[in-house]
Each structure stands twice: as structure tokens, then as C-alpha cells.
Amino acid sequence: MSEWIEICTLEDIPLLGARVIETGESKIALFRTSEDEVFALKDECPHKKGPLSQGIVHGKRVTCPLHNRVLELEDGAVIAPDVGCAQPYRTKNENGKIFIFLSRTSAIKPDLKLVMKEGARLA
């Protein structure tokens, strides 16, 4: 069963940067845009598995640090002419508290706040 899980505050995610949370299945990158929108993608570029959390956030896109693939933060789609998609996750911001929609069966770490690691600060 999936549910909304509180994971951090907006201020925990650097402006134009990322944070990473870990589940039992994968790492998820949380991105914050200049408009304070928060998006979440699997922290793995579909091209060469580069860590998207270390990429450059610009507008509603992130550029992979390995080979400059550009992905849409809203749906994880790679911008043409390249192809591919990173798995997106639903997020919401309620009064500065950030939630992600995940399955409890994905073996989420007991306290996501404790396993958050700051990604590259890109301002």
C-alpha cells in the first residue's frame, strides 16, 4: 500500500540543489527549483546510471553530471534528441513540510530524515 510520507522540510533541500533519501530498493533525489517547487526522481540517469542528485538544476530540469543528459523534473523524461526516463515520484509541500508518495513495502529506512544526504549545492 502506498502513502504520503513526510521526509523533510523545504529548507532541508538546497535552492537549485538536491538531497538524497534511501529506500530498501533505491536512492531517490529530491530537487528544489528557484520557484521552491520540489520534485523527486530515482537518483540514477537512464543513460549511464550517473547520480542525478549531483547534476545541475535549471528551471524544471536537471543535467546529469556524467554526460550532460537533460531530464525533466516533472516526469523524468530525457530531452530529445536523447532518449530514456528516470523514475519520477510524487511529492507535495504542505506548509513547508515535504512529503513523498511511496509504498511501505519498498522497505523504507526507519527514519528517512536520518539517512538524508546533501547533494551538490548548485547555485
Domains of the chain: 2-109 (2.102.10.10)
The pLDDT tens digits of the residues spanning 27-85 come to 999 999 999 999 999 999 999 999 999 999 999 999 999 999 999 999 999 999 889 99
**How large is the average pLDDT for residues 97-109?**
74
* Amino acid code (one letter) for 19: R
pLDDT value for 116:
44
Gap between the Cα atoms of 71 and 61, Å rounded:
5
**How large is the average pLDDT for residues 107-111?**
47
Per-position b or e across 6-37, b if 16+ CB within 10 A of its CB: ebbeeebbbebbbbbbbbeeebbbbbbbeeee
